Amino acid sequence: MLTKVAPDLVFNALHGEWGEDGCVQGVLETLKLPYTHSGVLASALAMDKAKAKAVLAAAGVIVPGGGLFNRHEVARDHVLPPPYVVKPNAEGSSVGVFLVFEGANRPPQDLAGPAWTYGEEVMVEPYVRGLELAVAVMGESNGPRALAVTDIRSSTGFYDYDAKYAEGGSIHVLPAPIPDAVRERAMRMAERAHTALGCQGVTRSDFRYDDINDLLVLLEVNTQPGMTPTSLVPEQADHVGVSFDRLVFWIVEDAYARCSAGGTA
C-alpha cells in the first residue's frame, strides 16, 4: 500500500510495540521512505529500558538502580526492598507497571499469570518519591533544545495509562514550580539523553524529582511522544511560542531535511 501511495514522507504517530521500537522504522527504511522522529537504532535502544539505562548512565545521566529479573522470580519474593517499581523492559504508556510500597506482604502476582504478555524479564527499580516531571526536546540542527519542564499531577495517584490519555486523568503544571537550578538540570539532562541515544526529531524525557533529597532521576526517553490534546509536547511547544501547526510542520520539515541530506530518517 505504501509503495503504491508513494508518500513524500511518513508521519509516524504510532506507539508501543512495532510503532516506536524500530520495527516500523525498519520497514520504512527497507521501502526507502523517509519518516519522522528517530531512526531504527535509537528507537530500539530507547524502547529497551535496560540497554537505554546503560547508555544513559555512561553519558553521565542519572538513572534509577535496579535491573532485569525473571518475572516468576519477581512474583515469588521481593527482589528489592519495597518501595519499588516493576515494569516491562520494552513497553510504553505505563502499560504493565506495578508499584510495590513499603509494608506489601507479597509482590504482584499478575506477573506469573498467563495474562502477562510483556516478556519473561521485567525491570525492577527502586521507587523514587517526589514529583513527576517531563521535558520535551526538539533535535534542531545546531543541537537538541529542551523546551520546558512540566509537573504532572495524576488524578489516579500514579501516572498510568488512564492518567496519560483519559480526559482529566492528570493536571499539567507548566512551568513546573521547581527551583531554577533543578529546571536547568532537567533540561540539560534531557538534551544529553536525546544525544546519547542518537534520537532525532522530537523526544520527551520523563523524570522523578525527590525534592527532599534533591535527587533528579531520568526514567526513560520517549522517541514517539504523544500528540493528542492531553499530550505534553504540544503544551510545552505552545508555552515557548510554537503553535501546534508549527510544531507538526517542524517535525515534517526536520525529517524531510534529514532525508534530503542522505538519510531516511
Q: Which domains does the chain have, with CATH numbers?
A: 55-63+129-255 (3.30.470.20), 67-126 (3.30.1490)
CA-to-CA distance for 197 and 260, rounded, in angstroms? 22
What pLDDT is attached to residue 163? 47
CA-to-CA distance for 235 and 228, rounded, in angstroms? 10
Angle at 159 between CA 191 and CA 213, to 5 degrees: 65
CA-to-CA distance for 203 and 191, rounded, in angstroms? 9
Q: Where are any strands of DSSP class E within the chain?
A: 67-70, 84-88, 98-100, 121-126, 131-140, 143-154, 170-173, 202-210, 215-222
Which residue ranges of the chain lie beneath pLDDT 50?
160-161, 163-165
CA-to-CA distance for 261 and 36, rounded, in angstroms? 14
**132 secondary structure, DSSP code:** E
CA-to-CA distance for 170 and 189, rounded, in angstroms? 24
Strand partners for 205: 135, 221
Q: Are 39 and 25 in contact (CB under 8 A)?
A: yes
Q: Write down how long the chain is.
A: 265
What pLDDT is attached to residue 228? 82
End-to-end CA distance of the chain: 20
List % helix, strand, coil for the chain (3-state, nearest 5): 35, 25, 45
Backbone Cα Rg of the chain: 19
CA-to-CA distance for 130 and 208, rounded, in angstroms? 6
What pLDDT is attached to residue 92? 64
Sorted by sequence, the CB contacts under 8 Å of residue 134 that are 6+ apart come out as 149, 150, 152, 204, 205, 206, 207, 232, 236
Kind of pairing, strands 143-154 and 98-100? unpaired
What pLDDT is attached to residue 230? 75
